[in-house]
Chain A
């Protein structure tokens, strides 16, 4: 596989999806400077599903915002497919937020089209693409509904469709299922894996739920409390496609326990 990768002349395939080198971030707090992130270095392989867990306030959302180009770091380097992210680039990176952040004055399809309409793509093509994405996330027939008519899970599906509409190489997700009840969460996690399997994108996913982390991830990165550092990288070598039954296995429990121990040692 390594030789094949070397033969491929496309540098985007060879470059890591995300590469963070010695990134630190300081911001001005009320009582002086606050070190939010300390010397973070990590790499995310293209096409992998990486989950970041860590205590509240550890800076994982800030880190994700930097990967999205929505915030800049104080020092260190962050590259996405070999190039820095000084500002958002929806062609490279799509973002799904915890609050679906759908615009209530637009229908589901119009919300999904929104990034395309910012670029003034032709109307028919936009609509076509939006319907395609809605179908992918399992919302056929809901194109002309308004957000207030949709359940929490459905709103997040629209949000995911919107994140994918410009076919970015990387999808960043900041606790997207946190506001959903547990059953919906499990269903959505499973759905997400299905969607991911058909699109082979790189996903970076933040969650507080350790079960969710083990269930979804290829690799789990554990962050410390503030100032946030990467304190462990845990490879999840459960077979794919993941099934609900795996959650009952000893291996699953062991991995989950390992993450929990790491986080507990912080306190």
Chain B
């Protein structure tokens, strides 16, 4: 299927079915990526830097606040509905506010993406802590665990799988947040390259930047999934239904 898509990408513009302006051929796009690799390389570094810093904010704040809100019943009942509702608000519309507060440089992008990614991390941390079986803590206490040991040896490992899901989603949102912010107001970064080349109608360069963004998301997702697999080797593996006939589609979906 992937091969067919790539083939289509190459052939459709070439045969004139879609103008090159709308869909530059794959070869043109890749050629530009190779020839301008320095520009793309430094832009990628800027973007990566902003993503990394925003992730730091999102994870640090998200885990800390999630732990507090999830861990204490009163906090939870008061604050969790608030944060869940805020999560539903499309934060992207707030970006202009961030430029007013932080200017048009990297700071506004980091702050914006940080906030954007904060919510899934915080909510999943709260959920992870809430759903810990209280029997684990009773058992730990019966074995003589101190409060600190209960936290580090029981609560953290028990909550980790759920927190990880939040981290995976948070990272994806941080990437989106940074790139979109760069598209709107920037002088550097991949998103900026998209906007710049769009304005001068240089489609191959636009698509080259888009490929990089796509690669970035895919690599991040693959990295976190493999990290999850290694850290969480104790999770029961969900058996794929591939053995059953007539379930080819579900098998390929679950194998993803």
* A interface list, Cβ under 8 A from B: 68-70, 88-90, 94-95, 97, 99, 101, 103-107, 114-115, 117-119, 146-148, 162
User: From DSSP, what is the main secondary structure of chain A's interface residues?
Assistant: loop
Q: Is the CB of A103 within 8 A of B138?
A: no
Q: How far is the CB of A206 from chain B (nearest CB, A)?
A: 15
Q: Is B37 an interface residue (CB 8 A)?
A: no
Q: Is the CB of B153 within 8 A of A148?
A: no
Q: Is B85 an interface residue (CB 8 A)?
A: no
User: From DSSP, what is the main secondary structure of chain B's interface residues?
Assistant: helix
**In the bound complex, how far is the Cα of B109 from the Cα of A69, in angstroms?**
54
Q: Is the CB of A103 within 8 A of B154?
A: yes
Q: Is the CB of B144 within 8 A of A97?
A: no
Report chain B residues within 8 Å CB of A162: 143
Q: Is the CB of A101 within 8 A of B136?
A: yes
In the complex, which of the residues B141, B142, B146, B158 has the most CB atoms of chain A within 10 Å of its own CB atom?
A: B142
Q: Which one of B144, B157, B232 lies within 8 Å of A115 (CB-CB)?
A: B144
Q: Is the CB of B157 within 8 A of A88?
A: no
Q: Which one of B135, B142, B158, B232 lies within 8 Å of A88 (CB-CB)?
A: B142
Q: Is B139 an interface residue (CB 8 A)?
A: yes
* B interface list, Cβ under 8 A from A: 133, 135-136, 138-146, 149, 153-154, 157-158, 160, 232, 234-236
Report chain A residues within 8 Å CB of B157: 103, 105
Q: Please name the 7 residue pairs, one residue from A and one from B, whose CB atoms are nearest each other, closest first.
A: A101-B139, A115-B143, A148-B236, A95-B142, A90-B144, A105-B157, A146-B234
Residue of A nearest to B142 (CB): A95
Q: How far is the CB of B105 from chain A (nearest CB, A)?
A: 43
Residue of B nearest to A89 (CB): B144
**In the bound complex, how far is the Cα of B144 from the Cα of A94, in angstroms?**
10
Report chain A residues within 8 Å CB of B232: 105
In the complex, which of the residues A89, A94, A106, A118 has the most CB atoms of chain B within 10 Å of its own CB atom?
A: A118
Residue of A nearest to B138 (CB): A70
**In the bound complex, how far is the Cα of B143 from the Cα of A90, in angstroms?**
5
Q: What are 7 A-B interface contacts by the 8 Å CB criterion?
A: A70-B138, A88-B141, A97-B138, A114-B153, A115-B144, A118-B153, A147-B234
Known: A118-B149, A148-B234. A99 touches B135 (CB 8 A): yes
**In the bound complex, how far is the Cα of B143 from the Cα of A162, in angstroms?**
9
Q: Is the CB of A114 within 8 A of B143?
A: yes
Report chain B residues within 8 Å CB of A105: 157-158, 160, 232, 234
Report chain B residues within 8 Å CB of A90: 142-144
Q: Is the CB of B234 within 8 A of A104?
A: yes
Q: Is the CB of A70 within 8 A of B141?
A: yes
Q: How far is the CB of A242 from chain B (nearest CB, A)?
A: 28
Q: Is the CB of B234 within 8 A of A118?
A: no
Residue of A nearest to B137 (CB): A101
Report chain B residues within 8 Å CB of A115: 143-144
Q: Is the CB of B234 within 8 A of A70?
A: no
Q: How far is the CB of B128 from chain A (nearest CB, A)?
A: 13
Report chain A residues within 8 Å CB of B236: 148
